Structure 1
Amino acid sequence: MESELQAILDRAPYLTTLTIQQDTSISIPMSLFKHTNPSIRKLDLENYVHYFNENERLLLTRSLLAIQCEVLYIRINNRGNIITLVRNMINLRILYIYQSDEKYSHYIWF
């Protein structure tokens, strides 16, 4: 599946948004984020029903997709680790967060 994903990304040179959706809460294979496409600027994980923990967020922020990302939609389990996202995603302009410990979502603009 991973090589298939990279093949799809390679065939979409003008793709600006990558949306990942899933109905059940299971961990995302972090190897997914080793793939890249230089035109992707928006990573939408809002409908991926999984709350990223601290280790997953750290792995995500070190990925090529996250480094080039300007807009991120993500579910997190603890707002105290938002700083990890902001510090490591150097091109981030807009961060949309849905937290497991609150019923409301938050937008953060830079």
Structure 2
Amino acid sequence: MILYNLNQDDSLPLQTALFRYTNSTVRELHLHECNYYFNEEECITLAHSPLGLQCQVLSIVVKNCESIVILVQQMNKLRILKVVVNDENNDKHIQWLKDYLPSTYIITRNVNMRNGILVWI
């Protein structure tokens, strides 16, 4: 069976066992609806997990902008990051990311996610 994307919502608690899942066909992780804010340490764990190593599209909610940098720097196959930061100051976060990340990245508001930011890598 080929599983291309994996969704986690708030109907089930987020399990760290999810990051030990080893299906080699998963390319998309949708974690933004699990009602959980990932901190920097958890983003590092995700980035180095079997799913994180092969992930090309990630939707996630994080506690701060530093977590975004961790994800884009450590997830080598990542092409698209759809992210919500804990607070609602998107303009500040978008500008900070544009200043911090390479100019080849496209960083915009994600109109499909409340308070969302979209990073094209």
Tell me if both proteins adopt one fold, taking TM over 0.5 as the criterion.
yes
Task: Name the structure 1 match of 2:7.
Answer: 19
Task: Name the structure 2 match of 1:10.
Answer: none
User: Where in structure 1 do 4 or more consecutive aligned residues deviate above 4 Å?
Assistant: none
Name the structure with the higher strand share: 2
1:52 counterpart SS class: coil
Is 1:104–2:115 an aligned residue pair?
A: yes
Q: Quick one: which of 36, 40, 47 aligns to 1:54? A: 40
Q: Quick one: which of 30, 47, 67 aligns to 1:81? A: 67
Unaligned runs of 5+ in 1: 1-12
Aligned residue pairs total 96
Q: Shift in Å at residue 31 of structure 1?
A: 2.4
TM-score (norm 1): 0.80
AA partner of residue 86 (structure 1): V
Q: Shift in Å at residue 80 of structure 1?
A: 2.2
> For 2:15 and 2:39, how far apart are their aligned partners in 1?
13
AA partner of residue 8 (structure 2): I
TM-score (norm 2): 0.73
Measured against aligned partners, the alpha-carbon deviations of 1:6-49 in whole angstroms (never above 9, x if no partner) come to xxxxxxx311010001158x6x3322211111111000001110
Unaligned runs of 5+ in 2: 89-113
1:106 counterpart SS class: strand
After superposition, the CA RMSD in angstroms is: 1.6
